[in-house]
Amino acid sequence: MTNGANLSKLRENLLWSAQRALPGKMPASLHAYSVKVERPQKKLRLRAHFHEPPSEDDIEDLLAVETEIFADFFDDVRVETEIEVIAPGEKPNFLAEGVAYQRPASLGA
């Protein structure tokens, strides 16, 4: 993937890639979307945060987002999307490297 000197750039690129991919295929019920690079495993982790279980259409949209993100990186990386259903009154468990999207509070849960 990259050496340690480029890890920060890789994180920045992953965040940018997710922000670019989401607008065209963002599930309507998505609350937030966070990302993380796991360098030793050459894995890009993506986490979609919902307040209710996503529909089949939501899952299809997430797969399209994942594909667009994967296309921005080298062939030797793996991309893994996780889904978190946030319990009422709880906060999202964001991945450490950044939040690519978070629904504004004025739009509700």
Domain locations along the chain: 4-107
Residue 13, pLDDT score: 92
Alpha-carbon distance of 42 to 63, in angstroms, equals: 19
Express each pLDDT in 27-52 by its tens digit.
888 999 999 998 888 899 999 999 99
For residue 105, is pLDDT > 80? no
For residue 75, is pLDDT > 80? no
CATH class of 4-107: alpha beta
